[in-house]
């Protein structure tokens, strides 16, 4: 998971433009303090290129960890239970038609 975070950081920085990001979790993924520390330090430069960031498939415990992360680091990473809702949020630009 840490390698994936580093790879995503590299891609964001190479693109040099804001991106909408989707992270999909399942029962094999764990958000541990080590992962959060890596995310906190390794992703600092890439944060400027994260227009929207959403996560799908988090357990109740992972959602609480994410909520704490958002508060502590002034982030706004959204969590969705359904992939369709996450995608709808990502593509919505807020402009009414």
Cα gap 60→7, rounded to integer Å: 27
The whole-number pLDDT of residue 6 equals 79
Structure tokens at 74: 């002034």
The whole-number pLDDT of residue 85 equals 96
| DSSP tally for the chain: helices H, then strands E | 4, 3
In the chain (97 residues long), the average pLDDT of successive 10-residue segments reads: 78 86 81 73 76 90 88 90 95 69
The whole-number pLDDT of residue 94 equals 66
Task: Tell me the DSSP string of 14-31.
Answer: HHTS-EEEEEE--TT---
Contacts of 70 (CB under 8 A, 6+ apart): 76, 77
The whole-number pLDDT of residue 95 equals 53
The whole-number pLDDT of residue 91 equals 93
The whole-number pLDDT of residue 82 equals 96
């Amino acid at each position: 998971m840490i390698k994936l975070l580093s790879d995503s950081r590299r891609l964001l920085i190479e693109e040099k433009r804001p991106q909408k990001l989707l992270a999909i979790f399942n029962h094999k993924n764990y958000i541990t303090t080590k992962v959060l520390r890596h995310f906190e330090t390794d992703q600092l430069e890439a944060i400027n290129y994260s227009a929207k960031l959403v996560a799908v498939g988090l357990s109740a415990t992972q959602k609480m960890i994410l909520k704490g992360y958002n508060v502590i680091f002034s982030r706004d990473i959204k969590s969705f239970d359904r992939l369709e809702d996450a995608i709808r949020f990502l593509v919505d630009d807020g402009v009414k038609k």
